Amino acid sequence: MPELPEVEITRRHLAVALEGRRIERVVIGHPRTSRLNASPEEVAARLQARSVISLDRHGKLLLGNLDDGQIVLAHLGMSGRFRISPPGSPFDPHTHAVITLDDGAEVRFVDPRTFGFVAVIDGDEVEGSPLSRLGPDAWERPPTVADLQRQLAGRSASIKALLLDQRHIAGLGNIYSDEALFHARVRPTRPAGRLGPVPIGRLLTAIREVLGAAIESGGTTLDDLAYLLPDGQAGDNLPNLAVYGREGLPCPACGTPVSRVVIRARSTHFCRRCQR
DNA sequence: AACGATCCCTGTTGGC
DNA sequence: TGCCAACAGGGATCGT
């Protein structure tokens, strides 16, 4: 599942291919791939002949700044990936968008489960867009302990549920939420409002460490779901995972079998001994 | 308002 | 061996 580290790696690769280039042609081949009330044809038309000035990221959203002030929003969903391909090379199955650049390179969007999307907004339309619903970026602008404690005050929902809520911190998904909670030694089921400044501080530190290590190693490629870097390589972060996907396997810290519960319809992995 | 359930989607997996 | 239900999850939406 692409989360902040995978999107950041994707951004770095795509920035090299896209920044300063002119978009010659865009084809979006799946109706679900264009969003925000725009048809595939409308999105394609708005991108045509525009130049990409820079490529940013906020949480799991990729943000392409165009020369006319428009912003391209791209979300990988749970199975989306971008691939930079030479023209004429065979298409991967589930290729739903192709962006042809003025140097001939093709940026292709592959997304079997179609939870991802590509959309365009005007620079002054940020209000009301998915971008406006995101809290501070978990990597670039993490909240302070005081900020986060204020956000969580009085909340009865579990800390895991609120970590997944992009309005508080943007960028964590199921994998890195579980990993951060493990390293912070906080049980994911704990009501968020009952966490004091000390565990919240440990959580913020753990988020930095977990995201940093994942970015450093090129992101997490699970065996089944093929998140791949835009050059087709796999990420190397899987061995760094302590609890995610490891139900019944020994906790790397104490050897206790890793537990699994379901929170907000998401698998949640933790060590019942290390995380109290 | 806060919170949990449900839905979207399809490749993979496990049970019978 | 073959079939099919269950499972995976980011985020929108809906009911309580």
Token digits of residue A91: 């298409």
pLDDT in tens, chain A (276 residues): 899 999 999 999 999 999 999 999 999 999 999 988 789 999 999 999 999 999 999 999 999 999 999 999 999 999 999 999 999 899 999 999 999 999 999 999 999 999 999 999 999 988 889 999 999 999 999 999 999 999 999 999 999 999 999 999 999 999 999 999 999 999 999 999 999 999 999 999 999 999 999 999 999 988 655 567 778 888 989 999 999 999 999 999 999 999 999 999 999 999 999 999
In this structure, the strands spanning A70-75 and A23-28 are unpaired
Q: Is A71 left (phi over 0), alpha (psi -120 to 50) or beta?
A: beta
The values of phi and psi at residue A56, to 5°, are -110, 180
CA of residue A228 to C1' of nucleotide B9, angstroms: 20
Q: Is A69 left (phi over 0), alpha (psi -120 to 50) or beta?
A: left
Given a contact cutoff of 8 angstroms between Cβ atoms, the answer to whether A238 and A255 are in contact is no
In this complex, the answer to whether residue A112 has its CB under 7 A from any atom of chain B, a nucleic strand, is yes
Q: pTM here?
A: 0.95
* Nucleotides in chain B with any atom closer than 7 Å to protein CB: 2-13
**How many other C-beta atoms are found inside a 10 Å radius of the C-beta of residue A265?**
5
CA atom of A20 to C1′ atom of B3, Å: 45
Q: CA gyration radius for chain A?
A: 19
Q: Active-site positions of A? A: 2-3, 60, 266
